[in-house]
Amino acid sequence: MFKPKIVNNDRDKLQPVKGKLVWQKRGRADVTDPWQDDTHFKLTTMKAGTGMQLQLSTAELFSLTQIVRGLYGKFWKDGHQLPRDGDTFELADYAKTAASLDALSNLADLLQAVGEEGFADVIRLLTDAKSSGLAIEAISKLQPDDLAGLGAIASLGALREALCLWEANKTNASEEFWQKAFQARPFVLSQAFSSPVVMLAGKSYVGGKNFHNKGGKEVDYLLRNTLTNHLLLVEIKTPCSRLLDTQAYRQGVYAPSRELTGAVAQISNQRDKLLKGFNEKRVETEDTTGQRVRLSEPRCLVIAGDTEQLADAEKLDSFELFRSGLRAVDVITFNELFAKIESLVSLLQMEQASNCTDSAASETS
């Protein structure tokens, strides 16, 4: 006889069913229930060399499965409420609820059941501040491999979304658009640096005001190296920003455009103001996470233009000679930055495909 029970499982709210298998013996035929639990049988009384076996037929095992599924189904359908003493209910109906959840055993089934928008809503709910605690508690039940896979999927999704944004806006000449786009996707800026970075602020004040509180300098983005806590400065233009003058300065030589040199001069000036202000105050500033930030010859980055503008080798050479000759400022084009994202997506996809192949091979073996 299987005797199940629905309980409040504080360790795991998704596992509310427990039960025990008991031996029964036939009692008197004239009582309401002739079968009684055999309380005399104890495993501790078994002698050495003896054993026992409990065998279930296909019908009995199916019945047991339906009972357990039905108990889970009732618990989930009733909003995690325990049944009251004396309640009677048809387990087969609730078993269907549990079975429908069992059917959603992979992402394809889940997407088919709720649709892409529905699945996106689930993800939004998971990241909502009000439910983040429960989400973290549930995710913590996953195994390390599952967590790594979840992180890889999330990263891959974010990177693909960034590539879609780039493909759809290659000719977008709005600096405000790109300001907001990068601020919402700081991981894209991370690809421009060889070290891990975190965004401190967009349109950050870096100093330079006079006695009349005017003339202050703002940098598009202020970043922090997460390993050394040193600051980095970023200036954003647009993919449509000209990199070189349209006319050759001399035969085979093109000068950098006014827009590009202006951006380099601007961020150099911001860097100078930040260094002077930081050194004069001699205070260790903290970012929003409470991390101390440091400043020592900060790296500066200008993101501007698209190498598609450089139609021939002479223009490519002129551009490379200009940016390689800069001392404190790095220049990267939009398409170069997103090419790094594309390479990272390819690597993650290859790793994901390799993991799937390894998993399939393991199951086969």
The pLDDT score that the predictor gives to residue 213 is 37
Q: Tens of pLDDT along 138-179? A: 666 656 655 555 556 667 778 888 999 999 999 999 999 999
Q: Taken in order 192, 198, 202, 203, is the CA torsion positive or negative?
A: negative
Instruction: For 325, list phi and psi in degrees, rounded to 5.
Output: -85, -5
pLDDT band at 215 (very low <50, low <70, confident <90, very high): very low
Q: What is the pLDDT of residue 317?
A: 95
Is pTM, for the whole model, over 0.75? Answer: no
- Pick the range with the lowest mean pLDDT from 84-88, 208-212, 231-235: 208-212
Distances (CA, A) of 337 to 16, 173, 193, 342: 50, 17, 10, 9
Name the strand (E) or helix (H) holding 5. Answer: strand 2-6
Whats the size of the chain, residue-wise? 365
* Residue 273 binned pLDDT confidence (cut-offs 50, 70, 90): confident
- Determine the Cα–Cα distance for residues 155 and 148; give it in Å rounded to an integer: 10
Across residues 337-343, what is the average pLDDT?
90
Share of the chain above pLDDT 90, in %: 22
Q: What is the pLDDT of residues 178-194, one digit of tens each?
A: 999 988 888 888 888 76
Phi, psi of 201 (to 5 degrees): -165, 155
Determine the Cα–Cα distance for residues 337 and 186; give it in Å rounded to an integer: 12
Average pLDDT over residues 77-84: 76
Sheet with 197-207, strands from edge to edge, namely 197-207, 217-225, 230-236, 294-303, 329-332
Q: What is the pLDDT of residues 27-72, one digit of tens each?
A: 777 777 778 888 777 777 888 888 877 888 898 888 888 888 888 8
